[in-house]
A = this chain, B = another copy of it.
Amino acid sequence: MSAYENLMAHARQTEALAQIAGRLGWDQQTMMPRGANAQRSEEMAALEDVLHARRTDPRLGAWLEQAEAPDEVGAANLRELRRDYARHTKVPARLASELARITPLAQTAWEDARLAGDVAAFLPWLKQMIALRREEGQAIAGGGDPYDALMEDYEPETSSDAVAATFARMRPRLVALREAILGADTPPALTGHFAQDGQMRISRRLAEHFGYDFARGRIDLAVHPFSSGSGDDVRITTRVAMEDPFNCFYSTIHEVGHAAYEQGVDPAHALTPIGRGVSMGVHESQSRIYENQLGRSRAFCGWLHGAMQQEFGPLSVADADAFYAAVNRVNTGYIRTEADEVQYNLHIMLRFDLERALIRGTLDAEDLEAAWNTRFEADFGYKVDKPANGVLQDVHWSVGLFGYFPTYALGNIYAGCLHKTLRADLPDLDAQLALGDTTAATNWLNSRLQQFGALRGPTQTISHACGFTPDEQPFMAYLEAKFTELYRL
């Protein structure tokens, strides 16, 4: 076998084992009996040891030196393999193992601190996590920026300077849009009690309408909605709140967007390094365009309004336009995961600036809460009332996820670019969406983007699909147009 063939055979087994690890994660959040927790940790640690040994296998270094790509696909596979190997071998084993050891402890400390509203109790863990991740970022970056090195794990080929510049252009426009909306009349919310069975029936219909392949997946309930797996076994979860059916429905559509990307990659790439979504930002572009630009469009909301009336009888919001307004209602609030399309991005920018400063060492962990609260009031216009609604609201930092937050907003930006070209290519789209038919749109996304997996880098993936170099302009124009019209600004 050639060095390339050796690499690919090795990578294929590693990826098969990684799929198993992912499926255990799904099991843990959906099926596992609660008493199995400690045993499961030990099982997962054993599997992670196997994966780590494979990913740092010294033979990989020799093969990577000799390997020649047979074609474009081979070149892409080598690009992914080289990056993975470099990342895994640059991080000292001691550091990786220390991170693995303290992560569950720090997460538990965060959970307790959030419940108790006690930022000080979480501070020692946060400091330790920042120090370890900074050290990891420095090890990967050599002399470069440690935050960029961490971010590139989720969004390769992207610099935080570029992200910061983009966010700086978006932020004043978002703050202004938010202020104008909250100064206008608020449309009525949908009220009522919606039974779990009915919500799940509509969830399944939504998943089918958005092209989710149930022969290669399934929907279950979990505390936090997620999508898990690649290729022929991609499972999603959703959640049900009796008073808030949109939470369930739009969580489902969001996760179907992630799942459609993984289910939609060309089967020829299955279990290879490019046989999955290329980055978190591009992944999020799929979940966001499914959820927002398609799912929260006026046309699709019309179909959903009918489906809900069919399932639940007359609704508190009887008129289709009012239903569309209720779906897209902008509220004051503190919590990122409950935010609307406009305010969501302000949440991200706040976290991006703070976590970048923490990793770079220009902000001390002691000063984080004050920095959060000051920035929140500047952007949102009111004060944080308690840490659970402020600096302690997200799990990310407690488990060491620094550099992950910006990918959510990059996903929105990418979705805006894709949506612009999609609309131009499909002039009849609204007529289809009004019938609940997303086939043309999801086929467009599959043929332009999803089928390629990680064949191209993130930015190239988007520009190949939309036909231009991505920037924030289409997304901002979409947001401003949608909400100016909705709120008659």
A residues near B (Cβ < 8 Å) are 12-13, 16-17, 19-20, 23-24, 27, 31-40, 42-43, 45-47, 49-50, 213-218, 231-233, 235, 270-271
Contacts and interface: CB of A to CB of B under 8 A. Distances in A.
Nearest to A50: B50
Contact of A31 (B17, B20, B218): B218
A186 to B, nearest CB: 43
A23 B356 CA distance: 40
Contact of A47 (B20, B45, B216): B20
B33 A218 contact: yes
Nearest to A220: B31
Nearest to A233: B36
A20 to B, nearest CB: 5
B24 A39 contact: no
Closest 3 CB pairs of A and B: A36-B233, A16-B46, A35-B215
Given A45-B16, A50-B17, A232-B39, A33 B270 contact: no
Contacts of A16: 42-43, 45-47
Contacts of A13: 46, 49
A214 B33 contact: yes
Nearest to A46: B16
Contacts of A34: 215
Contacts of A19: 39, 43
17 contacts: A13-B46, A16-B45, A17-B43, A19-B39, A19-B43, A20-B24, A20-B46, A20-B47, A23-B27, A32-B233, A33-B233, A35-B215, A35-B233, A37-B232, A39-B232, A39-B271, A50-B50
A33 B32 CA distance: 18
A260 B213 CA distance: 38
Instruction: Kindly report how many copies of this chain are found in the complex they form together.
Output: 2
A6 to B, nearest CB: 15
A332 B182 CA distance: 79
A431 to B, nearest CB: 32
A286 to B, nearest CB: 20
B39 A270 contact: yes
A231 B218 CA distance: 28
A237 to B, nearest CB: 13
A219 B31 CA distance: 11
A35 B215 CA distance: 5
Nearest to A14: B46
Given A13-B49, A32-B233, 4 more contacts: A16-B42, A17-B43, A20-B47, A38-B232
B218 A35 contact: no
Contacts of A214: 33
A252 B480 CA distance: 60
Contacts of A27: 23, 27
B39 A231 contact: yes
B33 A17 contact: no
A235 B35 CA distance: 12
B46 A216 contact: no
Contacts of A49: 13
Given A24-B20, A31-B31, A39 B233 contact: yes
Contacts of A216: 33, 35-36
Contacts of A23: 24, 27
A369 B27 CA distance: 44
A213 B34 CA distance: 11
Contacts of A232: 33, 35-39
A207 to B, nearest CB: 13
A271 B38 CA distance: 12
Nearest to A15: B46
Contacts of A32: 233
Contact of A43 (B20, B31, B46): B20
Contacts of A217: 33
A13 to B, nearest CB: 4
A55 to B, nearest CB: 14
A218 B19 CA distance: 23
A254 to B, nearest CB: 20
A231 B33 CA distance: 12
A47 to B, nearest CB: 6
